[in-house]
């Protein structure tokens, strides 16, 4: 059981890192969160119910740790401070590279401005691809709350990317 459990966690590490990145807005902070969550998971092996989803179980641990950390005095670095966000991409012409980098950073910046409860729903559903039902189980909130938080988050992101303004301008013209 133990070995199987560890192997399962190892195979899911890329997804845990992605979820951590989406929650914290930083690769380094995300990895710190994954590491803490892995350590915690190994001490709570007996609490995992075989047959249930290991990824959901870990997402819940990560989310709870993140909420605890946010309450602690040290706050996470602002998004964009991660040097990786400033790394040049290796191909393409310079102008396009710049545009790509700025726009991807813009998406992440908008996400980082969302309230934590919206960000965790967004990360589970839009980034990790969980169903609303699965997200409601991980976060231990009602389905309707998942939907309302998600819609608010998604409208904020869409509008921040200028999509709503463009559509509105078109409708008017």
Partner 1 sequence: MGRQPKPWVESTLVAYVDHQLDAAQMAAVDDMLREDAEARTIVSVLRAGADPLKVAFNRPMREAVPARLLAALGAAEDHPAETKVVPLRRPLGFLPMRQVLTAAAASIAFLVVGIGVGYWQFAPAPSIRPAGESGAFETALYRALERDQVGAGVGYEDAAGGTGSVTVVGKVQSSLGDACREFRHEWSAGGGKKAETGLACRSAAGDWSVLTVPQGPAG
What residues make contact with partner 1 under the rule CB under 8 A?
6-7, 9-11, 13-15, 17-18, 20-22, 27, 30-31, 34-35, 38-39, 42, 84, 89, 91-92, 96-97, 99-104, 106-108, 111, 122-123, 125-127, 129, 131-132, 144, 147-148, 150-152, 154-155, 157-159, 161-168, 170-171
Structure tokens given for 94: 């310079």
List Cα–Cα distances, 38 to 9, 35, 57, 113, 126, in angstroms.
8, 5, 11, 27, 23
Closest separation in Å from C-beta 1 to partner 1: 14
Closest separation in Å from C-beta 67 to partner 1: 19
By beta-carbon proximity to partner 1, the closer residue of 68 and 100 is 100
Closest separation in Å from C-beta 84 to partner 1: 7
> Helix or strand or coil: residue 124?
helix
Quote the CA–CA distance of 98 and 64 in Å, as a whole number.
Answer: 36
By beta-carbon proximity to partner 1, the closer residue of 42 and 67 is 42
Quote the CA–CA distance of 153 and 102 in Å, as a whole number.
Answer: 21
By beta-carbon proximity to partner 1, the closer residue of 67 and 167 is 167
> Helix or strand or coil: residue 98?
helix
Closest separation in Å from C-beta 75 to partner 1: 20
Closest separation in Å from C-beta 64 to partner 1: 17
Neighbouring CB atoms inside 10 A of 46's CB total 7
Structure tokens given for 112: 């980082």
């Amino acid at each position: 059981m133990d070995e199987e459990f560890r192997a399962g966690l190892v195979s899911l590490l890329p997804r845990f890192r992605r979820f951590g990145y989406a929650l914290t807005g930083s690769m380094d902070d995300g990895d710190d969160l994954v590491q803490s969550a892995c350590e915690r998971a190994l001490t709570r092996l007996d609490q995992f119910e075989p047959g249930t989803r290991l990824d959901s179980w870990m997402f819940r641990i990560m989310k709870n740790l993140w909420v605890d950390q946010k309450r602690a005095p040290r706050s996470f670095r602002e998004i964009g401070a991660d040097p990786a966000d400033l790394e040049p991409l290796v191909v393409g012409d310079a102008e396009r590279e710049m545009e790509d980098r700025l726009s991807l950073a813009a998406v992440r910046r908008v996400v980082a401005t969302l309230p934590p409860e919206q960000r965790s729903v967004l990360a589970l559903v839009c980034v990790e691809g969980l169903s609303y039902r699965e997200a409601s189980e991980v976060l231990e909130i009602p389905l309707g709350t998942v939907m309302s938080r998600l819609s608010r988050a998604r409208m904020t992101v869409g509008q921040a990317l200028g999509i709503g303004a463009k559509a509105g301008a078109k409708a008017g013209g």
